[in-house]
Structure 1
């Protein structure tokens, strides 16, 4: 698979610094946002899953109905349903969209949000359950005949689905989680491993761990591709970009003070958030232009580091990650539609040129 450039869509307008507006399901906003992203050249949109959100499968179906080619990176939480049902739901979406689905497995970084849906298992138990869930998921997609399964968490007799994914042999599985338990499961099952925007040294470290886990499971390290999730602050001049960053930081800090804890955890304890906070302690700007102050101010509850600069400077920084082993690049905007369009229109073409040049040099050297 080629590199993909990924954006994000929600059920209505809003972000860290843009107040939430509109109805809980704002069809006009979703339609305008996803069509703008498609026109700007974005390949795929992350659609998250949270206990208080509308059903993200329905959001994905609406996105597909309003676009021609853009795909979904659809978050999916094991433990909230049986894997046989999850397999049929995802395969049905893949058929209706003619192959536009990647499933992004979220085991659960927030204990508070898991509890809202009645999931009180501890961290390592959740990952053990995810391991078995994905095993069944893949078997349902790929089996030509009914099968029985009896494991620690699930038991089925005669499991079978008439609907299979449009994509063959199955829907690509993206996986998130930075703990040792998460990396072990990723090494076994992931086609794509997603990590937040860490500095280059941390990124290389995580890639090496995931590849080692793949080898331990009898897979080639090249079987897994990598997605980096970050923010962008892009302007015509570097000075303007940093001025915009300062304005964003002030708004983030004001929002954190008002919310006093956000999504139920004052300081998220998942390993990915801890790693971003540790990176922020090393400096406000790391590598060429990885800005960490929002991660520090917000507690790093999500992808909260940003690349700041002109389109050329941000593209150069992204290509450094490509050289480190990242193939897919996911941006969530502080200003959702504006930042997504700027990324797709002004930055992505420059990155594609850089990737093409690198690939041409590799072919010439062989």
Structure 2
């Protein structure tokens, strides 16, 4: 198995840890969709395709499946309850917004899901991307206020998970009196009382909130160089080094670079220009730093390629998660390692068509990543031995 080391690792301001990268996959609501330049369907549920997808992921080396949230898709809690019975190993990452239900009820629902999944659940807490959509749910807080509220929300959730009972809380956004729950969180790991928490956002306040209340700061992608630079900048004033960093990206990996580029271009062939205009309008109305920055990154680039293997061609149709690593199996594996050296610990990936892409990634890219990680780990062990 060959690997390509055509560029230097990104190490700027980052302590390199040789633990393994974690790979998650976004659960596709349209599991058989191949062309991302077309409008979404009505928002129905193709249960047969979803069951096929989760059953396949259960047999692969995917850590967990992200169940997304938004007005244009099914409720993730109800969907997760249905899918839970069809897996034995893979975990689920539940995306949810603070402010839509009381924290007590939310913990009760998460704890119930933890029993159905035997502890195989984590949370991706999101704070909304658009004042327009937030208003659909009766939420009129500003961007920064929503993150402030999320901090209170997770304070309460953590207290309930860790057994504070009865719980009294008096904050700016939440007040509770004698809150208590009988259904506790269950985990396969001894001593774990609550799910792992990911908090999403590219802004400084998102990083700060994540550092205070989460185990992983989840952001949209960029070049490895800019990821490393942003880590260095934030580390000077905040706590980026205290938590893990995850990237939400896409991947198109094939045996050769030429095949991967052809596959990428097929993703956006025969585009629906009305859909493209709709996405542009959504971005304009958004107050999300993550959404706006990734969209602007694609719009301002001299070409669709932000680097030899970083393609933004699908971003105008799908937004930030569509920023994609495109290349041969070796090239994509090498790029993932460069992100690791830039301080990234985890990835939530998508692909087109998503089931085949997930299978191909696990069969062809992931073994290459693990081989390079093993090599890097061995080198570090040797260096430590020589020092002593």
TM-score scaled by structure 2? 0.84
CA contact (8 A) 1:108 1:114 kept: yes
Contiguous gaps of at least 5 residues in structure 2: 1-18
> Relative to 1, partners in 2 of residues 1:262 and 1:211: Cα closer, same or farther, differing over 3 Å?
same
Q: Report the more deviating stretch, 259-268 or 233-242.
A: 259-268
CA contact (8 A) 1:5 1:43 kept: yes
CA contact (8 A) 2:312 2:323 kept: yes
Given candidates 172, 175, 178, the residue that maps to 2:202 is 178
State whether structure 2 residue 290 is matched by structure 1 residue 272: yes
SS at 1:25's partner residue? coil
- Counterpart of 1:229 in structure 2 is 248
State whether structure 2 residue 86 is matched by structure 1 residue 66: yes
SS at 1:232's partner residue? strand
Task: Give the C-alpha shift of residue 195 in structure 1.
Answer: 1.3
Given candidates 228, 250, 256, the residue that maps to 1:204 is 228
Q: Report the more deviating stretch, 280-289 or 107-116.
A: 280-289
Q: Report the more deviating stretch, 30-39 or 305-314.
A: 30-39
- Counterpart of 1:218 in structure 2 is none
Distance 1:205 1:246 in 2: 30
4+ aligned runs moved over 6 Å, structure 1: none
Residue correspondence of structure 1 range 95-244 to structure 2 within 5 A: 95-167=115-187, 168-208=192-232, 211=235, 215=239, 222-244=241-263
> Relative to 1, partners in 2 of residues 1:11 and 1:238: Cα closer, same or farther, differing over 3 Å?
closer
Distance 1:172 1:214 in 2: 21
Of structures 1 and 2, the one scoring higher in RCO (CA 8 A, sep 6+) is 2
SS at 1:260's partner residue? helix
Instruction: State the Cα deviation string for residues 177-206 of structure 1 (Å, max 9, x = none).
Output: 112222221121120111112111221234
State whether structure 2 residue 20 is matched by structure 1 residue 5: no
CA contact (8 A) 1:132 1:151 kept: yes
- Counterpart of 1:311 in structure 2 is 329
State whether structure 2 residue 378 is matched by structure 1 residue 360: yes
SS at 2:282's partner residue? coil
Distance 2:222 2:367 in 1: 23
State whether structure 2 residue 56 is matched by structure 1 residue 36: yes
Query: Number of matched residues?
Result: 357
Task: Give the C-alpha shift of residue 23 in structure 1.
Answer: 8.1
Q: Report the more deviating stretch, 25-34 or 5-14.
A: 5-14
Task: Give the C-alpha shift of residue 164 in structure 1.
Answer: 2.3
Distance 2:107 2:236 in 1: 28
SS at 1:234's partner residue? strand
Distance 1:85 1:226 in 2: 28
> Relative to 1, partners in 2 of residues 1:23 and 1:294: Cα closer, same or farther, differing over 3 Å?
closer
Q: Report the more deviating stretch, 18-27 or 271-280.
A: 18-27
Instruction: State the Cα deviation string for residues 195-254 of structure 1 (Å, max 9, x = none).
Output: 112111221234345655654xxxxx5541111121111222111211222222334xx1
- Counterpart of 2:358 in structure 1 is 340
Task: Give the C-alpha shift of residue 269 in structure 1.
Answer: 4.3
- Counterpart of 1:255 in structure 2 is 272
Instruction: State the Cα deviation string for residues 43-98 of structure 1 (Å, max 9, x = none).
Output: 21111011232220122223321111011111010010011111111122122212
- Counterpart of 1:327 in structure 2 is 345
Q: Report the more deviating stretch, 348-357 or 147-156.
A: 348-357
Task: Give the C-alpha shift of residue 338 in structure 1.
Answer: 1.7
Task: Give the C-alpha shift of residue 31 in structure 1.
Answer: 0.6
> Relative to 1, partners in 2 of residues 1:322 and 1:248: Cα closer, same or farther, differing over 3 Å?
same
Q: CA RMSD in A?
A: 2.4
SS at 1:228's partner residue? strand
> Relative to 1, partners in 2 of residues 1:76 and 1:211: Cα closer, same or farther, differing over 3 Å?
farther
- Counterpart of 1:89 in structure 2 is 109
Distance 2:139 2:196 in 1: 26
Instruction: State the Cα deviation string for residues 267-313 of structure 1 (Å, max 9, x = none).
Output: 34421123223433244323441112322x33x63312111111111
Task: Give the C-alpha shift of residue 145 in structure 1.
Answer: 2.5
TM-score scaled by structure 1? 0.89
